[in-house]
Structure 1
Amino acid sequence: MSNDILVITEHLDGKVADISYEMVGKAKELASAWGGQAVAVMMGNGMADQANGFDSDATLYIDHPALAEFNPEAYGRVTLALAEERSPRLIMVGNTSVGMDLAAWLSVKLGAACVAYVNGLEADGDTLVATSQIYGGKMAAECAVDGPAVVSVMAGAFPAEDGMGNTAAESVAPPASLDDLKVHFVKLIRPEAGDVDITAVEKLVAVGRGIGSEDNIELAQELAEALGAELAASRPIIDAGWLPKTRQVGKSGLTVKPKLYFMLGISGAPEHLEGMKDAELIIAVNTDPNAPIFDVAHYGVAQDLFDVAEAMLEKLE
């Protein structure tokens, strides 16, 4: 086992995902502590220029038509071959649909530990200490790993700017055959456009499970209108059919960066936090004072959301 770290980067529509830079920055810090190298790995097709944007110790760019978009079989073959060739101490992937597709499979193939929902990584001598969110973000678990590991990192866990740079990428041939794939990318299906693009508005009022029933959505809508905001929601509201999918914020929904993100009855599951962590001002209302959302909110109110919403409407009239 070497002391190197492989970072499996991600991209969509020709744009490198922020999670890639976030992981590279932390990988470089850990690799320095262990006397190894942080190696960014980009798989794609016609993306050589984008591969030069990391502040890694080294960057490998693997170009092939089968790697143009994420394909679990193709990406898995390449990553496994690289890992078997280089014997890295750590493989970092995003805690995303891409990374979660790879992490457990890789760990089994390599006989490595697998730690998911990671939002903290430190080197304690030769030991990797990973902090994970568990029970929907209500608790944190600390895992000490002495051997090789695969970790999936939460978006926003580390600063993206720490991984941005201009390390020249080395173009290498795919280390595994991609000619006999059973899985083929067909097309990217995007959700239908809704009545409003919540990613483009400056103010959002978001509702979660704590709203109680579909009838109570009307109160949240009134508050949104009074604030000059649009209505958004967490996944349980969408799954219940109370609001359309185009209003969903989170890992399986949309990523928003409004000036104001006002939450009613949202506890703060990691999947939701991934979609709104970069909002300029975050205000949370939840009856549970220990809800994880209060760890990220700039202002929090541990009160009944209906009392708060009605009091605000009175003031705004």
Structure 2
Amino acid sequence: MQVAAAPRPRYDRKAPASRGRPRRDPRAEQETRRVPGGARPRYDLSQTVRFGPAPDAEPAPRPAADTPLIVEAPAFLVAVVPDALGGRLSAHDRQVLGAARALAGREGGVALVSLGPCEGGGQAGADRHVALESPAGDDPASRAAGIAAALRELRPRHVLFPESLAGGDLARRVALRMGAPLFDNAEVVGPQGLVRPARGRRVEQRVAPGLLATVAPDAVAEHAGPPREARPLALESPSAEPPPSPILSAVRIPADPATVPLALARFVTAAGNGIHDLDTFRQLVAALHATPGASRVLCDAGLMPRHAQVGASGTVLAATCYFALGISGAPQHLQGVAGCEHVVAVNTDLHAAMIERAGLAIVQDAQAVMPALLRLLAEEEGR
């Protein structure tokens, strides 16, 4: 509406429109998406407002961000058998759960089937959790027999495994026991079909979703929606006894972290320009059972080997934990740690880029922190 008695045409946007359709107020729509609580404003972009409410209207109450979604009676189940080493979901396991959520849609549910306890299933998108008794030792035949018996009773529509060293082997053993075909190394997962590369990635193979499939690493995004319930689900009949195995003993022997390549390391401790006592740094790396790394500054100076360099011009990590000592965080270095699940940083600069990237930050001189950590580790071993 135009304001009268003004030298230039001016309009009152708060006044209601006299004709035509009402004007949209994007600020009011944005306010309806705001999530209550928190020091910084956060908005739920999954909600779409078809028409903005009146400026004086109160936004509808929304559930808390950590309130899990509950599916009481799913139409069908999509089972996920993770690696879950040490009872924790890996990044690959969470990607497989994200693929399962895509297959389940709104009507289905996702069931996490693990050998032993497993944490974080609800945050990763699991509606149900079946914790089977882990067999004694590390016999793959016994694990496959237990998983196959549980899947026969659970009767899921689809079963997904991670295409990893352990998950791929387990998937093929389960497929043999169940007599079902296996579609391996799927890079696209959806209700319309599964897709994988073939013939040196020159062609693509597409099939309708079957019973068993494995998902390639870093091909499907993790579940980014609200958490799920992960309700414990007990099977009625106990698992069938596995057949006698010719394997007398099976033990997983971990690799020496000092010789593991950085690209395959799970725990990396790196030194930067703020570290001058490299002998103490090497003692700390050995005490933490970590793989040593370094910034480009130390590698260019010849203080650390070139293969230990972390960053875009060195090695890009996929570690579970990255411990940065005296590293400010150049852009190339941050690119190398972008895939790390947890980052811990020690630096004297509160506004350093590595401090901002870290989930846990210690604003202190790394030279003083290293001896303190060594003392604490020595006390823990002495108990």
**1:232-288 Cα deviation digits (max 9, x unpaired):** 49xxxxxxxxxxxxx99899xx778697898xxxxxxxxxxxx988169xxxxxxxx
Task: Using CA pairs under 8 Å that are at least 6 residues apart, name the structure with larger relative contact order, 1 or 2.
Answer: 1
1:30 is the counterpart of 2:30: no
2:221 equivalent among 138, 153, 158: 158
- Relative to total residues, which structure has the larger helix share, 1 or 2? 1
Rate the CA distance shift 1:278–1:90 in 2: closer, same or farther, 3 A: same
Contact 1:21 1:161 in 2 (8 A): no
Provide the C-alpha distance between the structure 2 equivalents of 1:277 and 1:121, rounded to a whole number of angstroms. 24
Distance 1:176 1:157 in 2: 33
Equivalent residue for 1:226?
Answer: 300
Alignment of 1:105-254 (within 5 A): 105-124=173-192, 128-132=193-197, 135=200, 138-139=201-202, 141-145=204-208, 147-155=210-218, 157-159=220-222, 161=224, 165-172=228-235, 174-178=238-242, 180-183=244-247, 186-194=250-258, 198=262, 199-201=268-270, 225-226=299-300, 231-232=306-307
Question: 1:305-316 counterparts in 2 under 5 A?
Answer: none
Mapping for residues 256-271 of structure 1, pairs under 5 Å: none
1:92–1:151 Cα contact (<8 Å) kept: yes
Kept in 2, the 8 Å contact 1:57–1:167? The answer is yes
User: 1:197: Cα distance to partner?
Assistant: 8.3
Q: 1:160 to 1:256 in 2, by over 3 A?
A: farther
- Cα displacement (A) at 1:96: 0.8
SS of match in other structure, 1:91 = strand
Q: Is the 8 A contact 2:84 2:118 kept in 1?
A: no
Report the Cα offset of residue 191 of structure 1.
1.7
Task: Please list every run of 5 or more consecutive structure 1 residues that lacks an aligned counterpart in the other structure.
Answer: 204-221, 234-246, 263-274, 281-317
Instruction: For residue 200 of structure 1, give the secondary structure of its aligned residue in structure 2.
Output: strand
Q: Deviations over 1:160-206 (max 9, x none)?
A: 55596442322447522148444465432122242798422379xxx
Q: What is the rounded CA distance, in whole Å, between the counterparts of 2:169 and 2:226 in structure 1?
A: 23
- Alignment CA distance shift 1:100-1:248 (3 Å): farther
Matched, 1:63 2:133: yes
Cα offsets for 1:86-119 (capped at 9, x unmatched): 3333211111111111222333333433222222
Report the counterpart of residue 163 of structure 2 in structure 1: 95
Question: Cα distance 1:81–1:115, how it changes in 2: closer, same or farther (>3 A)?
Answer: same
- Structure 1 pair 140–7 and aligned structure 2 pair: CA distance change class (3 A): farther
Residue of structure 2 in register with 1:286 after alignment: none
Work out whether 1:13 is the aligned partner of 2:78.
Answer: no
What are the superposed Cα offsets for residues 134-172 of structure 1, whole Å, 9 maximum, x if unpaired? 63xx55623212543322432463225559644232244
Count of residues paired in the alignment: 226
Query: Structure 2: 5+ residue runs without aligned partners?
Result: 1-74, 263-267, 273-295, 309-313, 342-383
Contact map agreement 2:123 2:228 (CA 8 A) in 1: yes
Q: 1:13 to 1:110 in 2, by over 3 A?
A: closer
Please give the root-mean-square deviation of Cα atoms over the aligned residues, in Å: 4.4
> 2: distance between equivalents of 1:161 and 1:139?
31
SS, match of residue 83 in structure 1: helix
Q: Would the alpha carbon gap of residues 189 and 181 (structure 1) be closer, same or farther in structure 2, given more than 3 Å must change?
A: same
1:161 and 1:112 mapped to 2: Cα distance? 31
Query: Match of 2:339?
Result: 278
Look up the SS of the partner of 1:154 in the other structure: coil
What's the % identity of the aligned pairs?
15
Which TM-score applies when normalising by structure 1? 0.55
Alpha-carbon distance change, 168 to 131 in structure 1, aligned in 2, over 3 angstroms = same
CA contact (8 A) 1:22 1:163 kept: no
> TM-score, normalization: structure 2?
0.46
Q: Answer with 1 or 2: which has the greater Rg.
A: 2
What is the CA–CA distance in structure 2 between the aligned matches of 1:195 and 1:181, rounded to whole Å? Answer: 33
Answer 1 or 2: which has greater strand percent. 1
